[in-house]
Amino acid sequence: MLTIPFIRANSEITIQGLTKKHVANASEIVHQLIAMDDQRKSLLQQAESALEISNAAAKEIGSLMQSGQKELAEGKRAETAALKGTIKEKEEAAKAAEKQMLDLLVTLPNLPHSSVPEGKTAEENEVVLTWGSLPNMQADAQPHWDLIKKYDIIDFDLGNKITGAGFPVYKGKGARLQRALINFFLDEAIKVGYYEIQPPILINEDSGFGTGQLPDKEGQMYVTKEEGLFLIPTAEVPITNLYRDVIVNEKELPIKNVGHTPCFRREAGSWGAHVRGLNRLHQFDKIEIVQIHKPETSYQALEEMSLHVQGLLQKLNLHYRVLRLCGGDMGFASALTYDMEVWSGAQNRWLEVSSVSNFETFQANRLKLRTKVEGKSILCHTLNGSALALPRIVAALLENNQGLDGIKIPEILVPYTGFTHIN
């Protein structure tokens, strides 16, 4: 969450950043927030002045009573009673002004980093690099939604029967491939210093607010009827919230956590060209990496996280590209996001499999996540990334590695799967 002191000191930068993220009426909103804060401060000053007068009058009452000036003392009592009413009125008005200000403030996204390109749609994202080459596909290559039926490894009909659309059932070698990828991704993260966490997959409202899902994405999350708990959209949410209301010892930084969870999202669309099969689901598995840093090291960490994800894709021999997202395509809380996309051989298009983001202090301000440097309390920077999301990885592996003898499993995964082919 942006802060009023920052907005006051950097109003033009704030307006420019919000405009890059395509916030309507950015200038008006910024000036409105400053005016709201001015009103709040004025009301508090009025309350403070009334309190000073009231305290002085209270002291005078004692002196008047001692000198026998009872009538004057009673007049002062009436005066202090009226002032107490004024104080209460001004303080309540200040609280109302502050709430109104905060209600508006929490609707504003994070400001983009200076390197974020202008643009509104995914087509305007910047291609940073491309690795590998197009897979050599047979003429009759099939998309994964046909392959999963051919080899009976993932069943959407059963999932629809049990739950509904977008909840697949993984079977046999499909289930084993899922488990292999999960263990492989976790092992690779642990090798480079990540600490494994298995968090709850239900969160409360405070946790959703802390990482920026609420109020921005409330309609995209599943919620329990009785308790009002939310099913997580990503492990980022519970793992980052481990540090809500925490002052982290400087010596403990950086913090590097990894976790595997199922993820739940209502955003999946209907069956169609770009959402068919594993391309978009209501429930899927994902390994998430989360880091907490001092401000001066967070962007180096972001590059390292991007390289880690790229390393996984390289080990799976998947042709991929890295995108720097434009202002209009970025997430609400992100200051800078890299997307990794793999090439889907049978679909002939790129599939997003990872987003790696630096949120700077945006989440930390909501979380009250701080550290102390030379005795001074400062907000930390938070980062997260998919390493990796499974559905589109599975889709690409199935499509790109199909052949006459079945679907070949990448060599790196064979020790995890226990088989070399799906056939």
Mean per-residue pLDDT over the chain, rounded: 93
pLDDT value of position 70: 65
Is the per-residue pLDDT at 276 higher than 70? yes
- What is the C-alpha R_g of the chain? 28
Q: Write out pLDDT tens, residues 14-45.
A: 999 999 999 999 999 999 999 999 999 999 99
pLDDT value of position 65: 66
Please provide the distance, in angstroms rounded to a whole number, between the alpha carbons at the two ends of the chain: 51
CB burial of 188-200 (b: ≥16 within 10 Å; e: otherwise) equals bbeeeebeebebe
Q: Write out pLDDT tens, residues 120-169.
A: 999 999 999 999 999 999 889 999 999 999 999 999 999 999 999 999 99
Distance CA 288, CA 125 (A): 23
pLDDT value of position 64: 65
65 to 20, 58, 256, 304: CA distances (angstroms): 66, 11, 68, 75
Is the per-residue pLDDT at 268 higher than 60? no
Distance CA 142, CA 146 (A): 6
Name every residue whose Cβ is closer than 8 Å to that of residue 88 and which is 6 or more positions away in sequence.
none
pLDDT value of position 85: 86
Q: Write out pLDDT tens, residues 373-410.
A: 999 999 999 999 999 999 999 999 999 999 999 999 99
Q: How many residues are there in the chain?
A: 423
pLDDT value of position 270: 46
Residue 78's Cα: distance from chain center in Å?
55
Q: Find the mean pLDDT for residues 209-238.
A: 93
166 to 95, 100, 282, 287: CA distances (angstroms): 45, 39, 5, 19
Distance CA 318, CA 312 (A): 9
- Cβ atoms of 388 and 354 closer than 8 Å: yes
Distance CA 229, CA 260 (A): 20
3-state SS class at 226: coil
Is the per-residue pLDDT at 271 higher than 60? no
3-state SS class at 271: coil
Give the torsion through C-alpha atoms of 197, 200, 201, 203, to 10 deg. Answer: -120
pTM over 0.85: yes
Rounded to 5°, angle at Cα 90 from 93 and 94: 40
pLDDT value of position 323: 98
Q: Kindly list the structural domains of the chain, giving each domain's residue range(s) and its CATH number in brackets, ordered by start.
A: 4-105 (1.10.287), 122-422 (3.30.930.10)
